[in-house]
């Protein structure tokens, strides 16, 4: 990329060239939330598993399948497998299949297990997928467009930065404390005793740096009472996108209303 | 809305990061406790309820990026933010014994909030060390509610007492010249009014 091209790409709204990642972040959140919440209103567990498959397809379509899987496999293991086992082994049921000590597997407990993990898996998938397909700065930009103050963007974006900063200084402090003779391996008590000498300096350092940070930010007009400008903008929402989101919302409301009507009647 | 104290805004990301890094450090040292609410207590006690709430909610949202079931426990962090403010207000961070009592209070209240979610929504399974205790108890014939209650109460009490002791030391170590500029300074520095 030469200099002119680099300068010019700030004049265009940011696009990823992908149908899912180019959706407005808030619209995407809306669509994903509808997908995730709809599982709680459909009683068949097959729908939940269908949603899990659908999320895989969406992830592939967005070109993020690998990133999605790298987070999601842990959830599949923890909540897909273990949660199912716990639920299947301990839920009450009449039609016993297998019984040993306190463990009793029955048809009912397997069904309740399936229905629970289908919900947990698909809702977790929605959250993971949204995070994996969204840049945080795009999300906070979209929030500011609908009137959220820019301090919120600062807090969200700065948290990520601070987490990696503090993580690094935690390692540095841990190394220094090790050099001083504090043990970080060994039995539980030894490891527990290492926690405070690391956490103490870490937090106090971070807290006392706050004043300088606030002065530095104010010197860059952080709290100036003016309209903010943006280095990167997102494309305008198209009519087609808006219509799609409204259609999905209407379908969801219809589903919820239908479900409540079924409960009441 | 009243204009926010500027230092408070800059403390929010730090509170969130302290929560997250504290939790990571506990995992790294293979400690059997979470220690992931230190930041909430510090911000809640020095800056007040609302900043504490923001820290708690954002921390939980960040945690749910990797483990979305954390969203179900979002109210517990909020409880800690409120508790932190009142602990500071009634000078419950003044000595170690009081701090330990704080930890027990916080643990009991959070257990009461967490148990219904864990027991009824997730069948006693949370995906942490506490789940081992739960499954062991259930396998020996306990039903899901008491099993979850016992395991949560044990882990929470241990966790919150340690968190409170760490918070106690950190609050004592924050220099007065910084503390005095934060919204809750009057709870920590007694002779403030006379100096004005």
Residue B79's pLDDT band (boundaries 50, 70, 90)? very high
- Average pLDDT, integer, range A120-139: 90
Domains detected in chain B = 7-191 (1.10.1760.20)
**Which residues 152-171 of B have a C-beta within 8 angstroms of A?**
162, 166, 169-170
Q: Are residues A119 and A41 in the same domain?
A: yes
Is A189 among the domain residues? Answer: yes
The C-alpha torsion from B41 through B46 and B49 to B52, rounded to 10°, is: -50
Which of the residue ranges A51-55, B70-74, B92-96, B187-191 would you say has the lowest mean pLDDT?
B187-191
State which residues form the domain around A179. 149-219
Q: Which residues of A touch B138 (CB under 8 A)?
A: 86, 89-90, 102
Full-model pTM: 0.87
Indicate if the pLDDT at residue B148 is higher than 60. yes
Would an 8 Å CB–CB cutoff place B174 in contact with chain A?
yes
Domain boundary among A90, A112, A142: A142
Q: With left for phi above 0 and alpha for psi between -120 and 50, is residue A181 left, alpha or beta?
A: left
Indicate if the pLDDT at residue A140 is higher than 80. yes
Q: Which residues of A touch B124 (CB under 8 A)?
A: 86, 90
Is A236 among the domain residues? Answer: no
Q: For residues A108 and A14, what is the distance between their CA atoms, to the nearest angstrom?
A: 51
Domain boundary among A91, A114, A142: A142
Distance from CA of A4 to the nearest CA of B (A): 36
Is A234 among the domain residues? Answer: no
List the single residue in A with minimal CA-CA distance to B12. Answer: A155
Q: For residues A68 and A132, what is the distance between their CA atoms, to the nearest angstrom?
A: 6
Q: Are residues A123 and A9 in the same domain?
A: yes
Q: Read off the pLDDT of residues A7-33 as tens digits, 9 standing for 90 and up.
A: 888 888 888 888 888 889 999 999 999
Q: Read off the pLDDT of residues A221-244 as tens digits, 9 standing for 90 and up.
A: 888 888 888 888 888 888 999 999
Q: Which residues of A touch B65 (CB under 8 A)?
A: 71, 127-128, 131
Which of A34, A1, A75 lies closest to A253 in space, CA to CA? A34
Q: For residues A109 and A157, what is the distance between their CA atoms, to the nearest angstrom?
A: 44
Q: Are residues A136 and A175 in the same domain?
A: no
Indicate if the pLDDT at residue B196 is higher than 60. no
Domain boundary among A142, A162, A191: A142
On whether the CB atoms of residues B136 and A102 are closer than 8 A, the answer is no
Is A101 among the domain residues? Answer: yes
Q: Are residues A12 and A107 in the same domain?
A: yes
On whether the CB atoms of residues B73 and B110 are closer than 8 A, the answer is no
Q: In this complex, which of B6, B13, B127 lies closest to A158 when CB atoms are compared? A: B13
DSSP E strand stretches across A37-140:
96-100, 103-106
In 3-state terms, what secondary structure has residue A241?
helix
- Tokens of residue A63, six digits: 């070109």
Which of the residue ranges A88-97, A218-227, A254-263 would you say has the lowest mean pLDDT?
A88-97
Q: In this complex, which of A90, A165, A203 lies closest to B170 when CB atoms are compared? A: A203
Which of the residue ranges A37-41, A152-156, B192-196 would you say has the lowest mean pLDDT?
B192-196
Q: Are residues A66 and A166 in the same domain?
A: no
Q: Hey, are the CB atoms on A191 and B71 less than 8 Å from each other? A: no
Q: Are residues A137 and A195 in the same domain?
A: no
Q: Hey, are the CB atoms on A162 and B13 less than 8 Å from each other? A: yes
Residue A248's pLDDT band (boundaries 50, 70, 90)? very high
**Among all chains, which residue has been given the structure tokens 């297990």?**
A113
**Which residues 58-117 of B have a C-beta within 8 angstroms of A?**
58, 62, 64-69, 71
Is A253 among the domain residues? Answer: no
Indicate if the pLDDT at residue B56 is higher than 70. yes
For residue B195, what pLDDT is reported?
46
Distance from CA of B100 to the nearest CA of A (A): 16
For residue A85, what pLDDT is reported?
82
Which residue has better confidence, B94 or B43? B43
For residue B192, what pLDDT is reported?
61
Q: For residues B91 and B45, what is the distance between their CA atoms, to the nearest angstrom?
A: 10
Q: Are residues A14 and A116 in the same domain?
A: yes
For residue B1, what pLDDT is reported?
41
Among B10, B69, B180, which would you mutate to test the A interface (most chain A Cβ atoms within 10 Å of its Cβ)? B10
- Tokens of residue B160, six digits: 């919150």
Name the domain count of chain A.
2
Beta-carbon-side half-sphere exposure of residue B72 (alpha carbons within 13 Å)? 18
Give the orientation angle of helix A188-208 with respect to helix B144-173, to 10 degrees.
50
Q: For residues A61 and A22, what is the distance between their CA atoms, to the nearest angstrom?
A: 12
Name the average pLDDT for chain B: 85
Which of B3, B110, B114, B35 lies closest to A202 in space, CA to CA? B35
On whether the CB atoms of residues B47 and B82 are closer than 8 A, the answer is no
- Average pLDDT, integer, range B4-16: 89
For residue B193, what pLDDT is reported?
58
Would an 8 Å CB–CB cutoff place A154 in contact with chain B?
yes
**Among all chains, which residue has been given the structure tokens 């716990």?**
A86
List beta partners, residue A99. Answer: A104
- Average pLDDT, integer, range A56-81: 87
Among B1, B5, B25, which would you mutate to test the A interface (most chain A Cβ atoms within 10 Å of its Cβ)? B25
Angle (nearest 5°) at CA A202 between A197 and A204? 100
Q: Are residues A19 and A130 in the same domain?
A: yes
Q: Read off the pLDDT of residues B149-179 as tens digits, 9 standing for 90 and up.
A: 888 888 889 999 999 999 999 998 888 888 8
Q: In this complex, which of A159, A204, A223 lies closest to B17 when CB atoms are compared? A: A159
- Asked whether the CA dihedral A65, A67, A70, A71 is positive or negative, the reply is negative
Q: For residues A130 and A149, what is the distance between their CA atoms, to the nearest angstrom?
A: 22
Is A226 among the domain residues? Answer: no
* Residues in Cβ contact with A211 at an 8 Å cutoff, skipping those fewer than 6 apart: B7, B178, B181
Indicate if the pLDDT at residue A184 is higher than 50. yes
Q: Are residues A8 and A138 in the same domain?
A: yes
Residue B103's pLDDT band (boundaries 50, 70, 90)? very high
The one-character DSSP state at A14 is P
Q: Are residues A56 and A114 in the same domain?
A: yes
Name the average pLDDT for chain A: 87
- The top-scoring range by mean pLDDT among A106-120, B77-91, B124-138 is B77-91
**Which alpha helices (DSSP H) does chain A contain, by range?**
3-8, 25-38, 45-61, 65-75, 83-90, 107-133, 136-145, 150-179, 188-208, 210-219, 239-264
Q: In this complex, which of A103, A120, A163 lies closest to B21 when CB atoms are compared? A: A163
Is A117 among the domain residues? Answer: yes
Percent of chain B residues past pLDDT 90, beyond the cut: 37
- Average pLDDT, integer, range B103-111: 92
Whole-number CA gyration radius for chain A: 25
- Average pLDDT, integer, range B88-99: 89
Residue B191's pLDDT band (boundaries 50, 70, 90)? low
Residue A164's pLDDT band (boundaries 50, 70, 90)? very high
Q: Are residues A52 and A156 in the same domain?
A: no
Is A263 among the domain residues? Answer: no
Q: Are residues A13 and A39 in the same domain?
A: yes
């Amino acid at each position: 990329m030469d200099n002119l091209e680099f300068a010019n790409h700030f004049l265009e709204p940011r696009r990823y060239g992908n149908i899912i990642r180019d959706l407005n972040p808030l619209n995407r959140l809306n669509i994903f939330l509808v997908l995730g919440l709809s599982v709680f209103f459909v009683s068949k567990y097959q729908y939940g598993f269908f949603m899990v498959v659908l999320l895989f397809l969406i992830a592939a379509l967005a070109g993020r399948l690998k990133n999605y899987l790298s987070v999601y496999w842990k959830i599949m293991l923890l909540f897909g497998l273990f949660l199912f086992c716990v639920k299947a082994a301990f839920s009450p049921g009449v039609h016993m299949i297998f019984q040993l000590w306190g463990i009793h597997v029955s048809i009912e407990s397997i069904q309740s297990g399936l229905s629970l993990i289908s919900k947990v898996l698909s809702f977790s998938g929605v959250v993971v997928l949204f995070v994996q397909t969204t840049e945080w700065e795009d999300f906070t930009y979209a929030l500011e467009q609908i009137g959220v103050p820019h301090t919120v963007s600062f807090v969200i974006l700065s948290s990520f930065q601070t987490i990696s900063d503090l993580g690094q200084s935690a390692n540095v402090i841990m190394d220094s404390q090790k050099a001083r003779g504090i043990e970080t391996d060994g039995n539980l008590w030894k490891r527990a005793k290492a926690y405070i000498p690391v956490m103490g300096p870490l937090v106090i350092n971070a807290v006392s740096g706050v004043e300088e940070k606030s002065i530095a930010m104010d010197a860059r007009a952080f709290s100036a009472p003016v309209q903010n400008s943006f280095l990167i903008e997102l494309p305008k929402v198209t009519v087609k996108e808006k219509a799609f989101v409204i259609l999905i919302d209407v379908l969801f409301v219809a589903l919820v209303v239908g479900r409540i009507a079924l409960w009441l009647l | 809305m009243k204009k926010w104290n500027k230092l408070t805004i800059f403390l929010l990301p730090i509170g969130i990061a302290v929560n997250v890094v504290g939790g990571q450090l506990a995992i790294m040292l293979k400690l059997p406790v979470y220690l992931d609410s230190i930041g909430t207590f510090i911000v809640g006690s020095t800056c007040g309820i609302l900043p504490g709430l923001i820290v708690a909610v954002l921390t939980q949202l960040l945690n749910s990026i990797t483990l979305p079931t954390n969203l179900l426990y979002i109210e517990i962090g909020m409880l800690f933010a409120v508790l932190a403010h009142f602990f500071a207000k009634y000078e419950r961070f003044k000595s170690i014994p009081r701090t330990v009592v704080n930890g027990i209070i916080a643990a009991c209240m959070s257990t009461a909030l967490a148990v219904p979610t864990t027991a009824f929504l997730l069948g006693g399974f949370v995906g942490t060390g506490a789940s081992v205790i739960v499954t062991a108890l259930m396998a020996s014939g306990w039903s899901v509610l008491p099993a979850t209650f016992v395991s949560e109460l044990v882990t929470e009490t241990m966790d919150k007492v340690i968190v409170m002791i760490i918070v106690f030391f950190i609050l004592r170590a924050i220099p007065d010249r910084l503390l005095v500029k934060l919204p809750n300074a009057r709870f920590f520095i007694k002779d403030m009014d006379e100096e004005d």
